Amino acid sequence: MWTGPIRDRRCAAQLLHRVEHFRGRVWSIVSDEVRLPGGAVVTRDVVDHPGAVGVVVLDEDDRVLLIRQFRHPVGGYLMELPAGLRDVAGEPPLVTAQRELAEEAGFTATDWHVLIDFFNSPGGSTEAFRCFLARRVTAIPGGRPHTGEAEEADLPQVWMPLRDAVDAVLAGDLHNPTTVAGVLAASAARDRGWSTLRPADGPMWDLPLGTAPHAAE
């Protein structure tokens, strides 16, 4: 039985050897031979990912903003929170979230907090994700600036009551992990009178852009 603190703790493996199989525009795929903290030597395939942020946007009527976006890997349209990759070296997560909210949804907000942090797939990816709560939102005059990227050329929006969004998650109607985690977290935080919110610039279990989390050889 574990008798220590019930919280996650940093502890990097010792990197013995790395083979890079693929270097893409956004992420890479590597095979790492590592010595685990317990001493065992294993090989693990890792998607080296820059990380991402998402935003639960709530208006004064407790409605959450969702956008509809096509996702080729899963073969369909998903209803999602505004989100984006942390692919600008040195850019703080809050700045990335504010930029993505403007680019994907055409809104700014003056009230920002950290809602939750999570790893999207910690068994095989370095992707660290931060989800913010944004309130006191204002539409950008003229709407969002179009980036010209194919999947982002058309992003229809809908404002959905937070309670209905929770029901949609639990019914299996919403599948995007940012949306699922963010909507449920926002509902839980609201039920606690928003007492669980953290400062928007608070510390994060962060990973440097383009590097997997292993100790030096």
Of 2, 46, 26, the C-alpha closest to 212 is 46
CA within 13 Å, CB half, 155: 28
Asked if residues 133 and 186 have their Cβ atoms less than 8 Å apart, the reply is yes
Q: Indicate if 104 belongs to the active site.
A: no
Q: Which residue is catalytic, options 127, 149, 151, 152? A: 152
- CA 81: distance to chain centroid? 10
Is there a contact between 55 and 131 (Cβ–Cβ < 8 Å)?
A: yes
**Burial of residue 70, with CB atoms counted within 10 A of its CB: 0-12 exposed, 13-18 middle, 19 or more buried:** middle
Active site residues: 152
